[in-house]
Structure formats: C-alpha cells, structure tokens
C-alpha cells in the first residue's frame, strides 16, 4: 500500500508522521440513578461550554457552542427522563440513554445534508455522557510534535482536545466536504482529505505525504514524490500570487470573477482577493443563527455591512435557501420524506410567503444610499411561473436586476422560458449535479456521481447557456465547480459568462485562465461533453490543459 485516496477538501501539501487519534469509549454496563445521569449531562454541557470559551479556532468554538445547546435541549432531557422514570439505581442505563439519543439522530438524518452531518455532534455528546457516567474521561492522544492527524471521524470535542497548532494535515475515514474536519482544516489553512475509507490502515508513526489538492496520501513517500508535490504546490501558489487585477483570458478579454460569501468576514476576504464583487451572497446564516426570523431591521443592518464593503462593485444577493441541506427549524418541517425535493428556496413562498417578502424588503432597504450594483436572485426555481412571481415581487420593491438560480434540471432544460422572465441566471452546480445525477451532494459515497465533471451535468449546463446566450442574458456559475481551475475553463467553454467561487480560489482561477484562450476552453469543454464518465472527462481535460 503506497498510496490511498479520499476527497481532497482543503488544498496544500504536508509531510510528517501519522498520529492516530482514537477516542476511548466506555464499554460494559453502567449502573446509575436518573439523578446521576442528569448530573453527568450537566457536566458534559459545562465541559463543552468551557472548551468553547478556551478553544482558539472560531469555527470549533461555534460548533462547541451548538453542541452545548444540543446537550441541554429540554426535549433530550425529557426523552431520557421518559425512559429512566423511576427514582432507583438502574443496573445499566446505557441502553436507555442510547435509545433516547436514537430518536434525535433519526430526526436529524431525515433532514439530510448539513443536519445529517450533525449526527456526529450528537454521537459525540452521547459518548461523552457515557464516558462521564462510567468514569472514563475523554482521552485523546495529544499531539506532542507536528503530525498528520489520522482519525475515523473528527468531532468538535476531539478538535477541542487536540493541540491543532501541531496538526500538519487531517486525514479522516468518514465525512464529506462539509464535515467538521473539512471546515477546521480550511480554517487552519492545512491540507485535508476526508472520506478516505482506508485511513485507519495507516500505521501510527509512519511517514506520510498528504496532497489535499489531489486527495492523495502517500505512505513512506520517496524523496522524489515529496519534492515534486511540494514544488508543484509552491509553483501553483507563486504563479497565482503573481497575477493580479481583473480576470482576463490570454487574449485580454475580460472574465468576471466573483466571490461566494455568507457573512461580513467573507465580504472582507472577497475584497482582499480582488473579486469583481459577490456572485452569491448566501443569506441563510443570519436565519440559522437565530431561533426565530430575524427582524427586517436586523437583516438590513447585516446586509448593509456587506454592501458597504462592496461599494462600487456587483453584489448578487440570493434570497433565503431554507430547506434540504440548510434546514431552519422554525421554517422547515422536520417531517418531509425527501427534503432535497421538498420545500426549499423560493418554494418557501408556499408555506412562509411573508418571510421572503420581508427579506426582499430588507435587501432593497439595505442598498439605499450605497453605490453598488445590486442584483437579487431566487434559489430552487423550476418553472417560468416561479421566475415570474419572484421577478414581479422584487421589481415592485424597486430592485432593478432580478434573476434566478439555475440549479434544477427543469430550470436548465427550460431556460429559454425561465430566463425570459428575469434579467439573469446563475447556475448552481452543487445542486444541479445533485439533481441531474439523483445523488445526494452530501454523501461522500456518491461523490463520483454528484460531480459537475459528469458529462450529463455539463450537457445540462450547456443547454442553459445556449438559451441564455440566445436571449442575451448574463448566465454565470456560482457553484463549487467554478473554484476548480480546470472546471472553470470547461464552464467558460460551455458558454458561461462569469464565475463565482470561494474567495480563496480566486487567485488560482485568475492565474490559470490568464494562460488560456476561449478556443481552448471550447475545445476542452467538447472533450468533456463527449466523455463517457466524470472520471474520463476530468482526465481528458487535465491531460490537455497542463498546469
Ligand atoms: C449550488 O447549489 O450550486 C449553490 C451555489 O447553492 P448552495 O450550494 O448554497 O445550495
Ligand atoms: Mg443550491
């Protein structure tokens, strides 16, 4: 076994010794009274709150805070109380406690996406509670020297117990692109690979080379393998840093490069990366962070901060995409059989019409007096009627540029009619790939299917672009695909007119595009379209576009 593969979720190259992080979970019966169970749960909450106060990394702090809230949820306490109802010492409380948590996990799993990935947080609380009751304390091998962390799963409390300053890279057997490990690694700026099924076969102490860009781990790498990976990474970074200014192809023609942003910090990063503006302002965070709908005034205040940072540039605000992987408990039903196909995005007008009306009002008010190009778009639109409904309402509030996301196959195939209702389209490749391939975007086991590289997805994008170009409407991409330099080239070749991506990807995409002309992009797009599989499309394009 010289190399292993997984999903690269944070770029970079690291070399170092493997350090396996194993969480000790108690085994055997746990005798206890209900009082002791509740006291122990309180201690877990206190531990989480303490860890949240002391941990350095913002993202870990936030997750620990959410875990503390989950662990003190009255519904959880009630569920445990219903099973351990007598004031006696039970011989073994473990099965009842596990059962109480099971109901919560089933509910989260039914929500899918982001919420399904939070099951790991709940499992983490469960194992902490059982350990507390059994007197087995959270034991993690702490990193004593710079190491590559290998784990089956990396929970928030694990990360709070590890000296992350010593983490050179993360390699995790489970998890997908939005798992805790991926988020932490991006926050730390270190390489990370998740969904590496054979990660636990790596022996503790063995020397590894981790390439987070390629999703590859080399065991006992040869010096030449290390050197070439490091040189490639350094060269890519140095080249990216050398190209500044607006996005341009080799012939000098301008390519609009925008940033995907969810909050004020993102807007700061977008400005620092020299983005032409924000191509996707995700507005869910404000709603997710709150237990009820934020007031129009609260929304105005947040949008205004972001608009101020983007003065003179374009900002495309997306109305609330609640539902599916972005469930908002007070807006979405937990009883949907199929949340990705249920009430999400603009469909929320069917259940919470006034929420979207108030959001549109807030967006329009926030832009008053600020000189910026305000564009507003609705997510999860499938029909011309939905596009018309959104456009009519947004225009009535004085919003001049209105658009829709093209992220359902219906919107792409019928783009000629859908885009007629609005001023622009924006292709959401994350969802479009999910829906075209009928493959959950959050399930790492399906990542070979739910990818934009799939020729069927590329063909769908091409259909949407043909319609947009016929109607002379702007049609950008704001899904993750735009942040992959090779896919960015393919997308331009398919007829996309702008690219919006995570701010950290802008430099590399800008540099790579500056070496290509449109004819080359069209050539590689044709190769990819004619391939038989996502893997073949990707290899063909990479062979033809050496970086
Ligand atoms: C998309 O679906 O590609 C997209 C950009 O939207 P989100 O990832 O927020 O669903
Ligand atoms: Mg989407």
At 112-139, the pLDDT tens digits run 555 666 777 888 889 889 989 988 766 6
Q: Let me know whether 327 and 215 are in one domain.
A: no
Domain span holding position 480: 242-545
pLDDT exceeds cutoff 80 at 431: yes
**What value does the mean pLDDT take over residues 12-16?**
96
Q: What is the pLDDT of residue 491?
A: 98
Task: Report the distance separating Cα 462 and Cα 525, nearest Å.
Answer: 10
Query: Which ligand is closest to the CA of 114, given by its number?
Result: 1
pLDDT tens for 277-333 read: 999 999 988 887 778 999 999 999 999 999 999 999 999 999 999 998 788 889 988
- Would you state the pLDDT for residue 361? 98
Examine the domain organization and report whether 427 and 319 are in the same domain. yes
For residue 511, pLDDT over 80 is answered with yes
Q: Quote the ligand 1 centre to 500 CA distance (angstroms).
A: 11
Structural domain tally of the chain? 3
Same domain (yes/no): 464, 521: yes
Q: Does 232 fall in a domain?
A: no
Average pLDDT over residues 406-435: 97
Same domain assignment for residues 268 and 126: no
Question: 359's torsion region: left (phi>0), alpha (psi -120 to 50) or beta?
Answer: alpha
Whether residues 146 and 128 share a domain: the answer is no
Whose Cα sits closest to atom 8 in ligand 1? 430
- Cα–Cα distances in angstroms (integers) from residue 284 to residues 34, 235, 240, 259, in the given order: 39, 37, 31, 16
Greater pLDDT, 436 or 505:
436
- pLDDT at site 112: 54
Say how far apart CA 547 and CA 231 lie, in whole Å.
13
Instruction: Say yes or no: 432 and 463 in one domain.
Output: yes
65 Cα–ligand 1 center, Å: 26
Q: Domain for residue 227, yes or no?
A: no
Ligand 1, atom 1, lies closest to the CA of 428
Whether the CA torsion 436, 438, 439, 442 is positive or negative: it is: positive
Contact present, 185 and 170 (Cβ < 8 Å): yes
Distance CA 107, CA 334 (A): 7
Higher-pLDDT residue of 289 and 529 is: 529
Residue 511 CA to residue 242 CA, distance in Å, equals 8
Q: How far apart are CA 177 and CA 183, in angstroms?
A: 8
Same domain, 322 and 445: yes
- The rounded distance, in Å, linking the Cα atoms of 102 and 98 is 6
10 Å Cβ neighbour count for 504?
15
Instruction: Decide which of 81, 105, 134 is a domain's last residue.
Output: 134
Q: How remote is the CA of residue 382 from the centroid of ligand 1, in Å?
A: 15
- The residues with which 215 forms a beta bridge, in sequence order, are none
pLDDT of 349: 97
On whether residue 339 sits in a domain, the answer given is yes
Q: Are residues 293 and 382 in the same domain?
A: yes
Place of tokens 């959410």: 66
* pLDDT category of residue 504 using cuts at 50, 70 and 90: confident
Categorize the per-residue pLDDT at 499 as very low, low, confident or very high, splitting at 50, 70 and 90: very high
Q: What are phi and psi of 369, to 5 degrees?
A: 80, 0
Across 3-12, 69-78, 379-388, 467-476, least confident range: 69-78
Contacts of 182-188 spanning 24+ positions with Cβ under 8 A? 182/9, 182/10, 183/59, 184/57, 184/59, 184/60, 184/154, 184/159, 185/9, 185/10, 185/212, 186/9, 186/10, 186/504, 187/57, 187/58, 187/59, 187/60, 188/57, 188/164
Give pLDDT, residue 418: 98
Q: How far does the centroid of ligand 2 lie from the alpha carbon of residue 347, in Å?
A: 13
What is the structure's pLDDT at 419?
98
Write down the pLDDT at residue 1.
62
Do the beta carbons of residue 340 and residue 110 sit within 8 Å? no
Which atom of ligand 1 is the closest one to the Cα of 429? 3
Average pLDDT for the chain: 91
Question: What are the residues whose beta carbons fall under 8 Å from the beta carbon of 78, sequence distance 6 or more?
Answer: none
Q: List the Cα angle 407/408/414 in 5-degree steps.
A: 110
Higher pLDDT, residue 25 or 21: 21
Pocket test for ligand 1, best of 287, 478, 481 (most atoms within 8 A of CB): 478
Q: Which residues pair with 326 in a beta bridge?
A: 323
Residue 526's pLDDT is what? 98
The pLDDT of residue 116 is 65
Q: Residue 94 C-alpha to ligand 1 middle, in angstroms?
A: 40
Residues having CB within 6 Å of any atom of ligand 1: 280, 282, 321, 407, 428-431, 478-479
Percent of the chain with pLDDT over 90: 66
Residue 233 lies in a domain: no
Task: Please determine, for residue 545, whether its predicted confidence score (pLDDT) is greater than 90.
Answer: yes
Question: In the structure encoding, which two tokens stand for residue 281, read together?
Answer: 């302002």
259, 348, 430, best to mutate for ligand 1 pocket (most atoms within 8 Å of CB): 430
pLDDT score recorded for residue 437: 97
Query: Looking at ligand 1, which atom is closest to the CA of residue 284?
Result: 9
How does DSSP classify residue 290?
S
Q: Give nearest CA residue, ligand 1 atom 6.
A: 428
Q: From atom 4 of ligand 1, which residue's Cα is the shortest distance away?
A: 428
Distance from the CA of 236 to the center of ligand 2, in angstroms? 29
Phi, psi values for residue 109, rounded to 5°: -65, -35
pLDDT band of residue 24 (cuts 50, 70, 90) is: low
Asked, for residue 289, whether it belongs to a domain, the answer is yes
Strand partners, 317: 281, 376
Q: Is residue 433 a contact partner of residue 450, using CB atoms and an 8 Å limit?
A: yes
Classified as helix, coil or strand, 544 is: helix
Instruction: With a cut of 60, say whether residue 515 has pLDDT above it.
Output: yes
Which residue reads 């902490």 in tokens?
A: 128
**Chain center to CA of 433:** 15
CA geometry: angle 107, 111, 114, nearest 5 deg: 120
Report the pLDDT value the prediction gives residue 23, as an integer from 0 to 100: 65
Query: Which residue reads 């807006």 in tokens?
Result: 331
- Nearest listed ligand to the Cα of residue 427: 1
- pLDDT above 70: percentage of residues in the chain: 96
Determine the distance separating the centroid of ligand 1 and the alpha carbon of 95, expressed in angstroms: 40
Q: Given ligand 1 and candidates 176, 258, 280, which is best to mutate, with the most ligand atoms within 8 Å of its CB?
A: 280
Among 134, 162, 193, the domain boundary falls at 134
Residue 228 domain-assigned?
Answer: no
Residue 230 lies in a domain: no
Q: What DSSP string runs through 381-410?
A: --SHHHHHHHHHHHHHTT--EEEEEE-SHH
pLDDT of 113 reads 54
Domain with 79 in it: what CATH number?
A: 1.10.274.10
Residues contacting residue 167 through CB under 8 Å, at least 6 positions apart: 143, 146, 147, 148, 149, 188, 190
Residue 16 maps to which CATH number?
A: 3.50.30.10
pLDDT tier, 227 (very low <50, low <70, confident <90, very high otherwise)? very high
Q: Which ligand is nearest to the CA of 477?
A: 1
* Measured distance CA(321)–CA(186) in Å, rounded: 24
Could you identify the atom of ligand 1 that is nearest to the CA of residue 325? 10
The tokens describing 485, both together, are 């330099």
Domain finish residue from 109, 134, 159: 134
What is the reported pLDDT for 32?
Answer: 94
State whether 123 and 160 are in the same domain: no
CA-379 nearest atom, ligand 1:
6
| Whether 163 and 198 share a structural domain | yes
Residue 401 maps to which CATH number?
3.20.20.60
SS (H, E, C) 324-355: CCECCCCCCCCCCCCHHHCCCHHHHHHHHHHH
Residue 231 forms part of a structural domain = no
DSSP state of 293: P
| Residues with catalytic roles | 180, 478
Provide the pLDDT confidence category of residue 187 given band limits of 50, 70 and 90.
confident
Length of the chain: 547
So what's the pLDDT on residue 275? Answer: 96
Q: Are 207 and 126 in the same domain?
A: no
Alpha carbons 481 and 248: distance in angstroms, whole number: 19
Residue 60 pLDDT level (bands cut at 50, 70, 90): confident
Residues 312 and 413 in one domain: yes
DSSP annotation of 128 reads H
> In the structure, what pLDDT confidence band is assigned to residue 178 with cuts at 50, 70 and 90?
low
Ligand 1, from 428, 441, 481: best to mutate by most atoms within 8 Å of Cβ?
428
Task: Tell me how far apart the alpha carbons of residues 6 and 444 are, in angstroms, rounded to a whole number.
Answer: 9
Closest ligand 1 atom to Cα of 282: 9
Tell me the C-alpha distance between 450 and 431, whole Å.
Answer: 9
pLDDT confidence tier of residue 156, bands split at 50, 70 and 90:
confident
Atom of ligand 1 minimally distant from the CA of 407:
2
């Amino acid at each position: 076994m010289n190399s292993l593969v997984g999903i690269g979720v944070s770029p970079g190259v690291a070399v170092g010794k493997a350090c396996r992080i194993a969480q000790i979970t108690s085994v055997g019966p746990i005798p206890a009274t209900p009082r002791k169970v509740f006291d122990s749960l309180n201690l877990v909450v206190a531990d989480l709150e303490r860890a949240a106060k002391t941990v350095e990394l913002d993202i870990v702090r936030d997750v620990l805070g959410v875990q503390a809230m989950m662990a003190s949820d009255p519904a959880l306490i009630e569920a445990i109380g219903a099973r351990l109802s007598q004031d006696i010492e039970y011989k073994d409380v473990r099965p009842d406690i596990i059962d109480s948590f099971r109901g919560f996990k089933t509910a989260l799993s039914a929500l899918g996406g982001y919420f399904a990935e939070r099951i790991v947080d709940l499992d983490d609380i469960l194992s902490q509670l059982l350990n507390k009751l059994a007197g087995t304390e959270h034991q993690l091998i702490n990193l004593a020297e710079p190491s590559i962390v290998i784990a089956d799963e990396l929970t928030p409390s694990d990360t709070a117990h590890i000296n992350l300053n010593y983490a050179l890279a993360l390699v995790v057997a489970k998890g997908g692109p939005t798992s805790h490990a991926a988020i932490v690694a991006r926050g730390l700026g270190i390489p990370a690979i998740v969904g590496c099924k054979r990660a636990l076969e790596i022996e503790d102490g063995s020397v590894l080379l981790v390439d987070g860009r390629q999703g590859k781990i080399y065991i006992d790498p040869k010096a030449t393998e290390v050197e070439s990976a490091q040189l490639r990474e350094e060269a890519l970074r140095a080249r990216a840093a050398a190209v500044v200014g607006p996005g341009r192809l080799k012939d000098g023609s301008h390519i609009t490069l925008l940033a995907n942003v969810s909050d004020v910090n993102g807007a700061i990063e977008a400005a620092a990366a020299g983005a032409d503006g924000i191509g996707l302002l995700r507005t869910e965070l404000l709603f997710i962070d709150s237990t009820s709908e934020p007031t129009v005034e609260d929304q105005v205040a947040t949008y205004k901060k972001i608009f101020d940072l983007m003065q003179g540039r374009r900002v495309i605000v997306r109305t609330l995409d609640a539902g599916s992987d972005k469930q908002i408990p007070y807006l979405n039903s937990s009883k949907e059989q199929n949340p990705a196909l249920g009430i999400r995005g603009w469909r929320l007008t069917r259940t919470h019409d006034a929420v979207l009306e108030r959001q549109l009002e807030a967006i329009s008010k926030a832009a008053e007096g600020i000189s910026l190009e305000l564009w507003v778009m609705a997510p999860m639109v499938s029909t011309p009627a939905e596009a018309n409904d959104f456009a009519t309402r947004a225009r009535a509030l004085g919003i001049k540029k209105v658009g829709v996301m093209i992220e359902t196959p219906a919107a792409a195939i019928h783009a000629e009619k859908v885009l007629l209702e609005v001023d622009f389209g924006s292709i959401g490749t994350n969802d479009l790939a999910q829906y075209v391939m009928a493959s959950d975007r959050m399930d790492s086991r399906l990542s070979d299917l739910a990818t934009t590289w799939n020729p069927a997805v590329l063909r769908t994008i091409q259909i949407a672009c043909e319609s947009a170009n016929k109607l002379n409407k702007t049609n950008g991409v704001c899904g993750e695909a735009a942040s992959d330099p090779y896919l960015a080239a393919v997308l331009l070749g398919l007829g996309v007119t702008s690219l919006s991506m995570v701010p950290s990807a802008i430099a590399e995409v800008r540099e790579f595009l500056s070496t290509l002309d449109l004819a080359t992009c069209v050539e590689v797009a044709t190769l990819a379209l004619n391939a038989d599989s996502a893997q073949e499309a990707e290899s063909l394009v990479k062979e033809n576009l050496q970086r």
